[in-house]
Chain A
Amino acid sequence: MTPFNGIPREVEQDLEHLNVTPSRREFLRNAGMFAVTLSAVGAAGTFVPEAKAQAADPSATAGPYPDPDFRQVDSWIVIHQDDTATFYVGKTDCGQGTGTAFRQIMSDELDFPYDKTTCIMGSTDITVDQGGSGGSTAMERDSWPMRRVAAEARRVLLDMASTKLDVPVERLSVSDGVITVPGDASKRVTYGQLIGGKRFNVAVTGKNINVIAGVAAVKPVQALKNVGQSPRRYDIPAKVDGSLKWAVDVKLPGMVHARNVKPPFAGAKLISIDESSVRDMPGFVKVVSKGNYVAVVCEREEQAINAAKRLKANWEKPATAPFPSSEDLFKYMRGATPTSVSNPIVVGNPDAAFASAAKIIEADYDIPYQGHTAFSPAHALADPSNGLMTIYSNDMKSYGMRTGVATFLGMPRDKVRVIWMEGPQGFGRTAADDAGFEAAYIAKEIGRPVRIQWMRDEESAWDTKAPAFAVKARGGLDAAGNLVAYEYHARAADHNHVGYNEPDTVLIAQLMGARRDKPASGSSEVPAEMYAIPNRRMSRDVVSLPLVWESPVRTGNLRDPNGPQSTFAAESFIDELAFAAKADPVEFRMKLLTASTTEDTGFKRARSIAVVKAAAEAYGWDPRPSPKPVASGNIVTGRGFAYAYRGQTIAAQVAEVEVNRTTGHVWVKRLVCAHDCGLIINPEALRHTVECAMLHSLSRALHEEVQFNTEKVTSVDWVSHPSLRHADCPARIDVVLLNGDPNPNRPDLAPYGGGETACKPLMAAVANAIHDATGVRLRRVPFRDARVLAALNAARA
């Protein structure tokens, strides 16, 4: 089978032979390379449902899993005698190829052959804590300490070679892990010969992991050889031949299976459980219950599934409805009193500008709750052997899970570890967090390894959602069609936004009764563009649904949190203004971008202009106002444009659609994205990430909506919560990667985030294309056939 030299094989060895991880820990321990750790127990103000007084004693916390010390080179890089190297990084790769990119960038700084490296990530006891994945930080933030440590390791190796070869460092040359002396062929030494299997014992300094540095400087961008190439992702072969061991595949001796029994109604209270309803079922082990949390444990997986279905329990419905129905959501949101309000951003004098505007345009936009709905429902396996806790999980923030579970169970952090393994997509705060805590809780209760997995209906109904948005936009044009006044107000239903692996907000904790005094305020978002509008006011606030805790409609970060919602409204509205001004949508935007010359340090204006131009050019955009003259025939076509930035990454997109006027069906037949994320590490992996990010938003644009009645979520599977399908896939996708920095060849060119920005403009690009094709403006997501048809019919009437 395919040789697989990545993380999971290492984890597999760990599982099967139980020697790799301990030896790695031994390696670090003997070097004194674990940081002094503080027990998570008893952290002030934190809910600790299972805390035991004796466990809170820090002297009792000499567990086997202390934190690897991020200030030691050995915590990051091991060079072996056979002239191979292993990189240990505090990240997780959710399928975008970040592991491959880390190898590229570290190989470059180390001057080591890429092919001779492997990368281990995400296991909390053997890798430093960089927080796992999130926020598209892999390259932008987290590649820097990797680079600097690798550069420092190279410097140390050159020093060692200088001593060994008795030649000054200045006279040494290094390439692919081999140090030579130009002009003296007799002198040569490899990294493996210098340090293979031994420790560097070299510290770097810095107050936190993101800023650590040694003596050596990183290379100028021009000297990087692997960076900018596209080696194939190392994780793919094992995903194709079936040999990869995933978190769902781990099996341990004595392991049992658990399934949750969720409240049948949102906000329901558990009155009683009739355990006799399942006690005689084959393989029954136990019903585990506390507060409103209920799970059934059986010896075999299908037994647990059947028992969870069969278990009889009495639940009391809440006295008041937990939420309005999803049909009434936006009316409810617009009428609700905000739970938090952010200070508005005001430029110029918008009120006066509106008062003198020649034409005023107004529009409301509605974006419903949309879920992660991970392809594989949440899962985890927890092993409570020897008074320790090991959790096998695909959670993209394994480090946070380790700390959170330790607090939740009242265990010292250094007795808890999370072994990260591959799983379904990790686009933010998924229910993988919840499953990890549940497995650990049940495992501790029954003293056996427990594997839990949510069922499809649980995942779709109860995972964390991206908040619904209700947006109001207003624009004022002068007599010449210039945008002189702009107002944007975004309201998000995001009160009590759930964080990552929080011991008091994971679902099991909420169901057991955990309550924060002050729920997280949540957030809304205003547009992210570089338009120069002389007078503008942008404001945002957050509202709450009636049920705050234990709700299936709970919000959490979903890929580019709030970006697709906010940008759908903002970039749809810019098109509405262009329409009112009878201007070409790209020219209208370009005029707004070039109306100012103020810049930020990342040249976001220059880069926005370059990206907008590149997208229009790649598509072959012919300037004209939208909509097209009304075409006859059943199938009509149109094109739409949208642009946004996220952090320092810019994306502009064109969608070309076909709309069936009889059925309302929309097919996006072509997509173009121009994308600037600064320095590109692996162009092919980035291109793929951009493609998939666009299609993720296309799925949200065309299909996705979490629906609910006044009792429960009714989107519970792939029929009631549809997702993009093969038939929806565009016939052509063009991704243009560029760098519009005024000096794209500068030696310190920085990499910015690549995972999320392309999610942002897409929904608006599609809505704008539908308008171009039909003259009908859709202001409510998703554009399912029935909604589009109704809008077309309304326009015909």
Chain B
Amino acid sequence: MSNITLKVNGSTHTLDVEPGTPLLYILRNDLGLQGPRFGCGLGQCGACTVIINGSAIRSCITPVSSVKAEITTLEAIAKGGKLHLLQQAWIDEQVPQCGFCQNGQIMTAKALLDKIPNPSDVQIREAMNGVLCRCMTFYRVQAAIKRGAKAISDARQSEKTKVTA
């Protein structure tokens, strides 16, 4: 065991854990987060996705000691009690069925839109292809990403207009 310091969702934590422990178990069992979830432990499904340095990362195969930058989980993408526009798009499209995979869908989509604000259908399919869903909500996930991209772009536009005015 050794002391590891993690910055998660704006807070810093120091924990005495085995350095090789996958980040997922620390987030869930030590920090009480429930956005990232165990799906395969192999980095194949996306259930455990968190965002680090702007990238969607599979926390189930990421040793906790290897993480140096801040970790953002699903719980923290809403700001000031207001849902992220992508989350709102998810509700508007009524995306989830069981919902177990949706952490991976939303976090991977957020990382995509942060890099490519208006992705093409092909870019969406490519970026999302490693995130599985066994209820098969893919059709609505893709619709929600497009809706979310538009909402984010509209919001930016109206911010600009406000600043100009």
Contacts and interface: CB of A to CB of B under 8 A. Distances in A.
A571 B14 CA distance: 61
Given A692-B137, A724-B138, A726-B124, A240 B101 contact: no
B153 to A, nearest CB: 20
Nearest to B98: A95
Given A282-B18, A376-B100, A456-B40, A688 B94 contact: yes
Interface in A682-709: 684-685, 688-689, 691-692, 695-696, 698-699
Contacts of A235: 96, 99
Contacts of B10: none
A684 B126 contact: no
Contacts of B134: 373-375, 424-425, 696, 723
Nearest to A300: B29
A232 interface: yes
B74 interface: yes
Contacts of A494: none
A36 interface: no
B132 A302 contact: no
A95 B140 CA distance: 14
Interface stretch (A184-192, A319-327, A727-735): A727-735
A725 to B, nearest CB: 5
Contacts of B100: 246, 375-376, 422-425
Interface in A708-743: 717-719, 723-731, 733
> Chain B interface: which size bin?
35 or more
Interface in B17-66: 18, 21-22, 25, 28-29, 32-35, 37-42, 44-45, 47
A725 B87 contact: no
A237 interface: yes
Given A236-B99, A727-B125, A684 B37 contact: no
B71 interface: no
Given A236-B94, A695-B136, A726 B129 contact: yes
Contacts of A96: 97
Interface in B96-126: 96-103, 106, 121, 124-126
Contact of A301 (B29, B73, B74, B128): B29
A375 B91 contact: no
Most buried by B among A248, A301, A727, A729: A729
A624 interface: no
B34 A726 contact: no
Contact of A240 (B18, B42, B90): B90
Contacts of A727: 125-126, 129
A733 B91 CA distance: 19
B142 A729 contact: yes
A696 B136 contact: yes
B138 A695 contact: yes
A425 B40 contact: no
Contacts of B131: 726
A725 B47 contact: no
Interface string A420-464: 001111100000000000000000000000000101100000000
A2 interface: yes
B45 A375 contact: yes
A213 interface: no
A695 B134 CA distance: 9
Interface string B73-100: 1110010010100010011001111111
A456 B83 contact: no
B47 A376 contact: yes
Interface string A214-245: 00000000000000000011011101111111
A240 to B, nearest CB: 5
B4 to A, nearest CB: 13
B87 to A, nearest CB: 5
A243 B126 CA distance: 29
B135 interface: yes
Contacts of A246: 34, 37, 100
Contact of B75 (A243, A719, A723): A243
B97 A95 contact: yes
Q: Considering the complex of A and B, which 10 residue pairs feature the smallest CB-CB distances, nearest first?
A: A239-B99, A95-B97, A695-B136, A95-B98, A242-B74, A242-B35, A729-B138, A375-B134, A242-B75, A726-B128
Given A240-B95, A726-B124, 4 more contacts: A242-B35, A244-B99, A424-B134, A729-B142
10 contacts: A95-B97, A240-B91, A241-B75, A241-B78, A242-B73, A242-B75, A246-B37, A302-B21, A691-B139, A726-B128
